[in-house]
A and B are shown apart, each in its own frame.
Chain A
Amino acid sequence: MGDTTVLAVENLSVEFRSRRRIVRAVSDVSFTLKAGRTFALVGESGSGKSVTSLAIMRLLAAPAGRITGGSVTLHAPDGPLALTALSERAMRAVRGRQIAMIFQEPMTSLNPLFTVGDQIAEVARHHLGTSRAEAFKGAVALLDRVGIPAAAHRAHAYPHELSGGMRQRAMIAMALACKPLVMIADEPTTALDVTVQAQMLELIRELQDETGMAVLFITHNLGVVAEIASEVAVMYGGQIVERGEAGAIFAAPRHPYTRGLLDSLPPEIDSNMPVRAPLKAIPGSVVDLAALPPGCRFAPRCAWRQPRCETGAIALDADPANRLVRCVRAQEVA
């Protein structure tokens, strides 16, 4: 199961245009999702990680945002589907059915006027034509599966009557309604407390084992990545700067940004570092996507910078261990 590619993103680029400027939000991003595996996209705000997921779902705000290059291919059981070329109508049949998505703030992604049971049931009714009563029964079963106590009763609750953790469970139940091939989770635990976050990661892992779905997990939290993902792509300024096996990247980052990010974090909780020992902060702030430098996008903040970094674009090169790094000095950084 582990090697079946279910979604392939190839050289994806996204731009947002306004009269005054062009924001190159995503540049030349490629990765594949495999059945039963979790792939993490990590980055800070403005890195392009969320826009990548919206582009896969073809949910970019038109007309400002559009895919300017590359392709997204879904390998459905009845043959590959080029999502970037689908009509809006055909795309609607994919969303929620083949690819489901959960968001950071479940309160704003649930409809406040309908009960959670009805909202979950609607997914099956819309995509599978299930009858109202059947679909509601299915919704109760899903709520029960995601660990909502007294599911039959809670199915009649409105979103505001549930806690943040319960709402996120309801969102996950909705995502599972049509047994999707892919679940995209965009910062699904960021608004939650750590103990609830731990419950949620556990739940996603269990459900993935049961259903064999592929998960695209988007987060800025490197600890969460280490816990849930087998593969990770680190994004900066709309590009993937490093991609590879999660454990290997945490053990030995090769890109100066990845390394800087890991070094800048406060030491892990059981470390012996003295209190308030200075952290190795990355100087400056995140690159402006409307004014990208000609060379490496991280160069202005990079301690490893050389003159050649600031002239031309840097390629994402593979090393012998199949790690991709966008840096001319990758071997020295490690």
Chain B
Amino acid sequence: MTDLLSVEGLRKEFAIPQPGLFGTTVRFAAVDNVSFTIGRGEVLGLVGESGSGKTTVGRCIVGLARPEGGRMLFDGEDLATLSGVARHRVRRRIQIVFQDPFSSLNPRLRVGRTVAEPMVIHGLCVSRTERRERVRALLAEVGLPPDAEHRFPHEFSGGQRQRIGIARALAAEPDLIIADEPVSALDVSVQAQVLNLLAELQARHALSILFISHDLDVVRHLCDRVLVMYAGRLVEVGPSADLVRHPAHPYTRALLSAVPRRTTKAQGGRIVLSGEIPSPLAPPSGCIFRTRCPKAVAACAEAVPPLAEVAAGRLAACSNPAALFATD
């Protein structure tokens, strides 16, 4: 079976005003040459720190940002070149759940209207009564009380609002959901409820999910595979359980070692990275991580390392073979 989504060489640039000079801007790549696939019914994690470009990747797929380069093939159709009716038809199949359940719902619409809107836009459940029934079914499915449909978003807690956002995404009957940090704004005791809900819905509807998060515990728990981004580039890809236990790339290793643990200690101790993510305006030559990498060698400055197979099912972008899977 073919992949549901195949992203090839995705590039997204942003322009920022240059300090001091009127009207001139500098461009930088927030996402640079990112390629990956999402299988049907697969939950793919996308992890990275702030500024890594993970949210921008999600926004490009949903159509909220227009990439400057690369292709995004969804079920064989290129999302970038589609227009008009064809674009509208494909868009229904890709929905998004946002991080902040407070700002992503229209405060002036009753919850029933919010959930019905995707159906109106995409011509699903054309009759009013049909739509109503479907809204009720969706609200029940995400675990909201039956009277929720007549209430406004401010009457709900954070966790309940995130359920509303999920119901809205499901209303369009999507094949792929982009979930951008959907549980990061929630209280710890509520987070588990929403994670369980996502897992249930995913199984019931055989959904593909791109789960964007900075929380590695959550990603390990929910995702089949993980992509690791650093400063706009993919540095590692692999099955989640294997990747977190045996990280190949030095950045992934440092990232995992920084996760605070309740009961265990990180294998090989903590790798505290010095410095910060390089400025996207002046990225270093070669490997983007080399300025902070404890394993950097001369070759790292010469060329951008390609994402290459380093073990069965495992990809990493690293120029120093001795650094891969190192345990010190």
Bound-state CA distance A166–B275 (Å) is 10
Smallest Cβ distance from B222 to chain A, in angstroms?
A: 6
Chain B nearest CB from A269 CB (Å) reads 5
Q: Could you say which residues of chain B place their CB within 8 Å of the CB of A165?
A: 276
Partner of A222 from the list B43, B223, B262 (CB cut-off 8 Å) is B262
Q: Which of A211-269 contact B (CB under 8 A)?
A: 220-224, 226-227, 250-251, 260-262, 264-269
Provide the residues of chain B in CB contact with A111, threshold 8 Å: none
Q: Which residue of A lies closest to B258 (CB)?
A: A198
Chain B residues within 8 Å of A280, by CB = 192
Chain A CB within 8 A of B272 CB: yes
Q: Is A321 located at the chain interface by the 8 A CB criterion? A: no
Least Cβ–Cβ distance between A187 and chain B, in angstroms: 13
CB B146 to nearest CB in A, in angstroms, measures 17
**Cβ-based interface call for B328 (8 A):** no
Cβ of B217 under 8 Å from chain A: yes
Contacts of A223 in B (CB 8 A): 217, 259-262
Complex CA gap A279/B222 in Å reads 11
How long is the Cα–Cα vector from A104 to B160 in the complex, in angstroms? 25
Which residues of chain A come closer than 8 Å to B192, judged between CB atoms? 264-266, 279-282
Q: How large is the interface on B (under 10, 10 to 19, 20 to 34, 35 or more residues)?
A: 35 or more
Question: CB of B148 within 8 A of chain A?
Answer: no
Distance (whole angstroms) from the CB of A241 to the closest CB of chain B? 13
Question: Which DSSP category, helix, strand, loop or mixed, fits chain A's interface?
Answer: loop
Q: Does B190 contact A (CB under 8 A)?
A: yes
| Residues in chain B near residue A222, CB distance under 8 A | 188, 262
Q: Does A69 touch B at the CB level, under 8 Å?
A: no
Q: B245 contacts which chain A residues (CB < 8 A)?
A: 270
Hey, which chain B residues are within 8 Å of A201, CB to CB? Answer: 260
Contact of B188 among A194, A198, A220 (CB under 8 A): A220
B262 in contact with A281 (CB, 8 Å): no
Determine if B222 and A268 form an interchain contact, defined as CB atoms under 8 angstroms apart: no
- With an 8 Å Cβ cutoff, the count of chain A residues facing the other chain is 49
Bound complex: CA of A286 vs CA of B188, how far in Å? Answer: 10
Chain B 209-248 interface mask (CB, 8 Å, partner A; 1/0):
0000010111011111000000000000000110011000
Q: Which of B43, B49, B221 contacts A194 (CB 8 A)?
A: B49
How far, in Å, is A280 (CB) from chain B's closest CB? 7
Q: Which of B188, B195, B214, B254 contacts A261 (CB 8 A)?
A: B188
* Bound-complex Cα distance A161 to B218 (A): 32
B189 proximity list for chain A (CB < 8 A): 44, 260-261, 264, 281-282, 285-286
A194 and B276 contacting across the interface, CB-CB below 8 Å: no
Which residue of chain B has its CB nearest to the CB of A264?
Answer: B192
* A109 at the binding interface (Cβ < 8 Å): no
B217–A197 CB distance below 8 A: no
Smallest CB gap from B189: residue in A = A282
Q: Of the 9-residue stretches B107-115, B126-134, B263-271, which lies at the interface with chain A?
A: B263-271
Which single member of A197, A250, A262, A272 contacts B258 (CB below 8 Å)? A197
**Is A193 positioned at the interface, with any CB of B under 8 Å from its CB?**
yes
Residue of A nearest to B239 (CB): A275
> Which residues of B sit under 8 angstroms from A61, Cβ to Cβ?
none
Q: Does B191 contact A (CB under 8 A)?
A: yes
Interface residues of B in 7-55 (CB under 8 A from A): 43, 49-50
Chain B residues 274-323 with CB under 8 Å of chain A are 275-276
Instruction: Give the distance in Å from the alpha carbon of A165 to the alpha carbon of B189 in the complex.
Output: 28
B188 touches A264 (CB 8 A): yes
A290-328 Cβ-contact flags toward B at 8 Å (1 or 0): 000000000000000000000000000000000000000
Min CB distance B82 to A, Å, is 32
Q: Which residue of A lies closest to B218 (CB)?
A: A266
C-alpha gap A199/B273 in the complex (Å)? 8
Q: How far is the CA of A265 from the CA of B217 in the complex (A)?
A: 9
User: Is A77 an interface residue, CB under 8 A from the partner?
Assistant: no
Check if B188 sits within 8 Å of A44, measured CB to CB: yes
**A202 sits at the interface (CB 8 A):** yes
At the interface, yes or no: A163 with Cβ under 8 Å from chain B? yes
* A18 interfacial by beta-carbon distance below 8 Å: no
Query: Is B196 part of the binding interface, using a Cβ–Cβ cutoff of 8 Å?
Result: yes
A87 within 8 Å of B by Cβ? no
Q: Does A278 contact B (CB under 8 A)?
A: yes
> Which of A149, A164, A193 gathers most chain B CB within 10 Å?
A193
Docked pose: A201 CA to B258 CA in angstroms: 10
Q: Give the 4 A-B residue pairs with the shortest CB-CB distance, closest first.
A: A223-B260, A266-B221, A281-B192, A193-B49
- Can you report 9 residue pairs joining A to B where beta carbons are below 8 Å apart? A164-B50, A195-B254, A197-B260, A198-B272, A265-B188, A266-B192, A281-B190, A282-B192, A286-B157
A residues sitting closer than 8 Å to B (CB atoms) are 44-45, 149, 163-166, 193-199, 201-202, 220-224, 226-227, 250-251, 260-262, 264-273, 275-283, 285-286
List 12 extra interface pairs beyond A164-B50, A195-B258, A266-B220, CB under 8 A. A193-B49, A198-B258, A199-B272, A222-B262, A226-B260, A250-B262, A264-B188, A265-B188, A265-B262, A273-B221, A276-B221, A278-B199
